[in-house]
């Protein structure tokens, strides 16, 4: 029986319809702007052979006849290939970098051919836990563990299929930055030149602090009864692992923002007419509930596990003589951007990258009260940094 003394909780339960068991894109859904590359099997670092790999991707602009204007953009943890443009059929949300990618914008699609893949292990069209395994069932928790290097190896196959032998630029923030750095080493090893590199709010090696923050996120999902050991794809709406995924997102989102921003925006204010002394919420709690619910409706819990654990594996120097040696081997002209208030990828992690790459420009720093999410917000600063870097490099190394 519903407790009449808990009106705030009941009101929250009525706000939105039940959350689907998974927010993954599935075959038969509207593809939107997605294209799909069937890449065959992929041998993973852990020894698995992942069969029938597909990467979903989007392209913007036109590839020059000589292929010299190709740009690769790599998304963050819960991003996808929809980097620019509005929400619409096939795309629950608008582009995550709409102010950066397009005609006349810093990554000018009148000049560049932009390729944006959905990461291997993701849930928006690329092979991942929600995909069908050889036995005809979704992979679920049986999906093999991935490393950042595995994800880039799949993107190398995509580049070859597209006929791209070199990238004018590889750019990415956060998880995308991990892959961008890996591309700068693995790409040339695979015969694909990387002439320019932009790494934003990222690291050459996962830190103990980052791994520590990920630990309760992983546990929140796995301890949700709706996770069902990863086999929840046939569960009715409202009975999947949405609570665990939402809690994971709330933990992560706290690391994406700053204490100062939360204090300024919310302080100790209650949410609307709710009373925190009678089971109501503070406004900051409502804010986190909103972001948790929002992600649970568009993402997949198993993908969140796979991608988070792939970030924990990230070590550019593994089997390469250490991080410093790996950074020193990068030949791409490089722009490294940090966010001054980032508590997940603090400035010193970016400074190490900028100091270690021979052709890196001086470290640039976004001034932002918003923390790690500054790369999604501070376009008035980030845009000119990217535009200036591309113009300088265009003058230094004309095609």
pLDDT tens, position by position, 260-288: 999 999 999 999 999 999 999 999 999 99
Would you call 209 exposed, middle or buried from its count of C-beta atoms within 10 A (0-12, 13-18, 19+)? middle
Asked if residue 316 lies in contact with residue 343, where contact means CB atoms within 8 angstroms, the answer is no
CATH class of 35-207+316-396: alpha beta
Is the pLDDT score of 4 beyond 50? no
For the residues 125-129, what does the mean pLDDT come to? 98
Q: What is the pLDDT of residue 16?
A: 75
pLDDT tier at 15, thresholds 50, 70, 90: low
Identical fold at 35-207+316-396 and 210-309? no
Question: Rounded CA gap, 139 and 178, in Å?
Answer: 25
**Which architecture does CATH list for 210-309?**
Orthogonal Bundle (1.10)
Q: What is the pLDDT of residue 397?
A: 57
Q: What six digits make up the tokens of 175?
A: 């998880």
Is the pLDDT score of 7 beyond 50? no
Q: Which residues are annotated as a binding site for substrate?
A: 249, 373
- What SS3 class is residue 57? strand
For the residues 13-37, what does the mean pLDDT come to? 90
pLDDT tier at 139, thresholds 50, 70, 90: very high
How many percent of the chain have pLDDT more than 70? 95
pLDDT tens for residues 93-108? 999 999 999 999 999 9
For the residues 211-221, what does the mean pLDDT come to? 98
Non-local CB neighbours of 60 within 8 Å, separated by 6+ positions: 83, 84, 101, 102, 109, 113, 114, 116
pTM of the model: 0.94
Rg of the chain, C-alpha, whole Å = 21
For the residues 387-397, what does the mean pLDDT come to? 81
For the residues 19-42, what does the mean pLDDT come to? 97
Is the pLDDT score of 241 beyond 70? yes
Compute the mean pLDDT over every residue in the chain, rounded to the nearest whole number.
95
For the residues 310-331, what does the mean pLDDT come to? 98
- Residue numbers annotated as active site: 174, 342, 372
Q: What is the pLDDT of residue 61?
A: 98
* From 9-18, 300-309, 318-327, 343-352, the region with the lowest mean pLDDT: 9-18
pLDDT tier at 395, thresholds 50, 70, 90: low
* Domain assignments of the chain as residue spans, ordered by start: 35-207+316-396, 210-309
For the residues 338-351, what does the mean pLDDT come to? 98
How many percent of the chain have pLDDT more than 90? 94
pLDDT tier at 396, thresholds 50, 70, 90: low
For the residues 110-136, what does the mean pLDDT come to? 98
Q: What is the pLDDT of residue 100?
A: 98
Is the pLDDT score of 5 beyond 60? no
Q: What is the pLDDT of residue 393?
A: 74
Question: Rounded CA gap, 242 and 244, in Å?
Answer: 6
The secondary structure of 308-346, three-state, reads HHHHHHCECCCCCCCHHHHHHCCCCEEEEEEECCCCCCC
For the residues 333-339, what does the mean pLDDT come to? 98
Q: Which residues are annotated as a binding site?
A: 249, 373
């Amino acid at each position: 029986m519903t407790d009449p003394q808990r009106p705030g909780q009941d009101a929250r339960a009525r706000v939105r319809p039940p959350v689907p068991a998974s927010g993954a894109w599935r075959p038969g859904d509207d593809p939107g702007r997605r294209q799909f590359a069937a890449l065959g099997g992929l041998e993973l670092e852990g020894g698995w052979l992942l069969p029938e790999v597909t990467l979903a991707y989007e392209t913007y602009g036109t590839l020059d006849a000589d292929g010299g204007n190709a740009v690769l953009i790599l998304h963050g943890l819960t991003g996808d290939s929809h980097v620019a443009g509005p929400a619409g059929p096939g795309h629950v949300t608008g582009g995550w970098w709409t102010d950066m990618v397009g005609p006349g914008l810093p990554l000018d699609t009148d000049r560049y051919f932009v390729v944006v893949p959905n990461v291997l292990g993701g849930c928006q069209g690329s092979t991942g836990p929600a995909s069908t395994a050889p036995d005809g069932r979704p992979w679920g928790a049986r999906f093999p563990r991935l490393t950042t290097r595995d994800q880039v190896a799949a993107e190398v196959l995509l580049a070859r299929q597209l006929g791209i032998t070199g990238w004018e630029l590889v750019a990415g923030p956060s998880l995308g930055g991990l892959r961008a750095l890996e591309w700068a080493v693995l790409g040339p090893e695979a015969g694909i030149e990387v002439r320019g590199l932009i790494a934003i709010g990222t690291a050459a090696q996962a830190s103990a602090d980052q791994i520590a923050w990920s630990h309760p996120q992983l546990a929140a999902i796995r301890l949700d009864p709706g996770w069902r050991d990863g086999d929840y794809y046939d569960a009715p709406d409202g009975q999947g692992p949405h609570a665990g995924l939402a809690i994971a997102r709330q933990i992560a989102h706290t690391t994406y923002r700053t204490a100062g921003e939360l204090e300024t925006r919310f302080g100790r204010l209650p949410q609307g007419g709710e009373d925190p002394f009678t089971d109501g919420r503070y406004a900051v709690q409502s804010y986190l509930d909103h972001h948790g619910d929002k992600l649970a409706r568009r993402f997949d819990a198993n993908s969140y596990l796979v991608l988070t654990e792939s970030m924990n594996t990230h070590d550019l120097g593994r089997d390469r003589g250490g991080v410093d040696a790996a950074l020193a081997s990068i030949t791409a002209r490089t722009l490294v951007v940090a966010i001054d208030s980032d508590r997940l990828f603090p400035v010193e992690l970016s400074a190490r990258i900028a100091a270690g790459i021979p052709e890196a420009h001086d470290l640039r720093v976004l001034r932002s009260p918003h923390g790690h999410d500054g790369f999604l917000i501070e376009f008035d600063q980030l845009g000119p940094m990217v535009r200036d870097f591309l113009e300088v490099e265009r003058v230094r190394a004309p095609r």
